[in-house]
Amino acid sequence: MLPHKQIELKLQSAVREILPDADVSIVLVRPCPDPKFGDYQSNALMSLAKQRKMNPRQLAENVLAKLDVSDICEKVEIAGAGFLNFRLKPAALALTLEAAARSVHLFFEKTSTPKTAVIDFSSPNVAKPMHVGHIRSTILGDSLARALRLLGHRVVTDNHIGDWGTQFGMLLVGWKRELNSAALATDAIGEMERLYKKISAECKENPAVLEAARQELVKLQAGDAENLKIWREMIALSQKQFDAIYGRLDVKFDVTLGESFYNDKLAPLVDELLKKGIARESEGAIAIFFEDNPQLKAHPALIRKSDGGFNYSTTDLATLAYRLEKWNPDEIIYVTDGRQQLHFQQIFAAFKKWHGESKAKLAHVWFGSILGEDGKPFKTRSGETVKLSDLLNEAEDRAFKIVSEKSSELPDAQRKEIARVVGIGAVKYADLLPNRQSDYVFSWDKMLALQGNTAPYLQYAYARIKSIFRKAESGSREAEIKLAAPEEIVLAKHLLNFGLTLEAMAEEYRPNFLCNYLFELAGKFTSFYENCPVLKAENETTRNSRLALCDLTARVLKQGLDVLGIEVVEQM
């Protein structure tokens, strides 16, 4: 068991002795923000004392009298109004590293209480190219799924694609009147986009075209065989494009259930909500009102329009009901941009009225926009939305130029593979590094730099460690670990916090926690490597101990980058 977990369990036991009725699940141990105070800290006694109107420092002293962590910690210190600070003994630190070197753990443990989480992310629209706006949802959702799975949770990833609705009436008109079969064969998405733009523009100018589109949509919704056949072909052609991009990004979905999947569930859902008094008629439409919610009082959720049509709210409530029934999740996570905050506040509030007994936690993990270097939304020079495939191509091309300049001696195929890993990794990392709720400026130079907090810097750090082992003719990676130099101890203690960082990332849906942890790890490794000779260490024991530290750093870097969906290479 990892040291912080041992301390936590012993602390919870000591608290129980003093306060038998206390909820010890809140008694947690976390890394000390400032190492000069210790390695770990707990502030839980302060809130327990506050609940009971006790003196927090007195409570800390009482708990400390019952707490024995002398096998792994130096003397425990009480700070301030009841903080407990813990400092690990060097022997306990070395034993933990030796267990990791033997692959007993990699500084994290799978949870003993796995939960089921459904993650809804990416969600592109059929018949439209995936663009730069899809990258944040796709990469953020994928990294959260990877973190939760690594920690032992059951994850269902669902790509809720836009495959139903008004745009298909226009597409059907265009397909029947104007389809260029040769263009469809060479660039299906481009041809469908052309048809949609043309008919959409005509609908604004010509009421007859708008009516024709409406009729085609009605026929599709009524199950017309010809329209269904065309619509299915549009979905199949779009899915090919989606799959190609997801393949390049190494993103996988357990299910892809588009809006159309829920179509036959919408009318019964509205009837049920009317019958239960959750929804009511208003000006010919049906809506859910939130009189008891100050934030939503002025924003009722429309679930059936006055013309009898349904909308996103209806579909999202039907989707929620299906997910509850199908997977019985503990948590449903929606990864979308910040503009949908009001929509999800309505959906979650409506769900509470409808399924108040449900244990499922609903989370809207929203994110900001990608900006160009001019501070405006990121576009092409001609003002068009940047296509995701073009962005990934450019990332690989730019990375190939950099790799070719740095390592011209490598074979062409190897340079191309390194460029693929570095280019795609750079785009992903630049997206995951900022606080997700901030807008960020897209900069090729920054994201592909070999210095600073970037994917290439971390990939290079990994490759550099691998080169040490290519030079080392001997040495056991499962050696006895001796920590003497300050840089060795600092690196070792940082390795210990890998699992806590993963847990914080998963709990708060923030991959930037992991990005910053890995960047600090690479920096601490550099300091260690510069100050502590490895291959030329003063004796075999020290050499093997330091090689083991190198190996553990490489393994954590690789595992951490994998959680972010980023590959590594052995040589750069």
Tokens standing for 140? Answer: 């953020």
Give the phi and the psi of residue 366 in degrees, each rounded to 5. -105, 160
Residue environment code for 44-54, b if the CB has 16+ CB neighbours within 10 A, otherwise e: bbbebbeeeeb
pLDDT, residue 485, reads 95
Res. 380: pLDDT tops 90: no
The mean per-residue pLDDT over the stretch 137-160 comes to 98
Residue environment code for 426-440, b if the CB has 16+ CB neighbours within 10 A, otherwise e: bbbbbbbbbebeeeb
Lowest mean pLDDT among 322-326, 441-445, 520-524: 441-445
- Does residue 522 contact residue 461 with C-beta atoms inside 8 Å? yes
Higher pLDDT pick, 478 / 487: 487
Cα 158 to Cα 254: distance, rounded to the nearest angstrom:
6
Res. 421: pLDDT tops 70: yes
- Does residue 82 contact residue 26 with C-beta atoms inside 8 Å? no
- Does residue 19 contact residue 44 with C-beta atoms inside 8 Å? no
| Whole-number percent of the chain with pLDDT over 70 | 99
Q: How far, CA to CA in Å, does 158 sit from each of 145, 254, 455, 558? A: 11, 6, 27, 26
Res. 376: pLDDT tops 60: yes
pLDDT, residue 474, reads 62
Split at pLDDT 50, 70, 90, the class of 154 is very high
Cα 411 to Cα 408: distance, rounded to the nearest angstrom:
8
Question: What pLDDT, in 10s, does the model give residues 25-56?
Answer: 999 999 998 888 999 999 999 999 999 999 99
∠ CA 477-478-481, rounded to 5°: 100
Going by C-beta distance under 8 Å and a sequence separation of 6 or more, which residues neighbour residue 115?
153, 154, 329, 330, 331
pLDDT, residue 307, reads 84
The mean per-residue pLDDT over the stretch 232-253 comes to 96
Domains of the chain: 3-88 (3.30.1360.70), 167-249 (no CATH)
Split at pLDDT 50, 70, 90, the class of 375 is confident
Split at pLDDT 50, 70, 90, the class of 135 is very high
Split at pLDDT 50, 70, 90, the class of 165 is confident
| Whole-number percent of the chain with pLDDT over 90 | 88
Res. 269: pLDDT tops 60: yes
